[in-house]
Amino acid sequence: MTIKVGDRLPESKFRVMTADGPQVKTTDDIFKGKKVALFAVPGAYTGTCHKMHMPSIFLNAYAIKEKGVDTIAVVSVNDVFVMNAWKRDTDQRDEATFLADGNAEFAKAIGLELDASANGLGIRSKRYSMLVEDGVVKSLNLEPNPGKVEVSGGDTFLSQL
């Protein structure tokens, strides 16, 4: 079943890179008691994700946080090492938390997995943005075409706050 506005995020685990190496963070660690802008992309460094989606997030990051968002999070079905390198290459001002959903467990749990096997990418996440308050989905902008950023970018997200 696909998650929808009003639903609580299911319990899941992510990997994040810390100064001490990879660590596990749960949905509670990321979302409990916080207002979170969650941006999901099919793959780190892929054309649309890297050249269109990420810039839209970071060009609007200050304004998003000024509207009361505690955390900007980026999730992708990649391993923690790739996500850490992608953070290094895209998040120059350290404005976001990069969440590795390496086995697509979170994507599957919320019903937003994408089968990109035909392109050699396996199971990935659909492209979306989501406002989550204390673990509850308040808005969901699901991109109808994973190769475009028309409803899930930082500018659209900001306009909804």
Scan for tokens 């409990």, then name that residue.
32
Instruction: Give the three-state DSSP class for 104.
Output: coil
Known active-site residue 87:
no
CA torsion 35-91-148-62 (nearest 10°) is: 50
Q: Cα separation of 58 and 154, whole Å?
A: 7
Which of 49, 110, 131, 132 is catalytic? The answer is 49
Give CA separation, 21 vs 4, 35, 98, 142, in Å: 34, 26, 14, 32
Count of CA atoms in the C-beta half-sphere (13 A) of 61:
19
Q: What is the largest CA-CA distance in the chain?
A: 41
Total residues belonging to the chain: 161
Q: Cα separation of 105 and 92, whole Å?
A: 28
Q: Which residues are catalytic?
A: 49
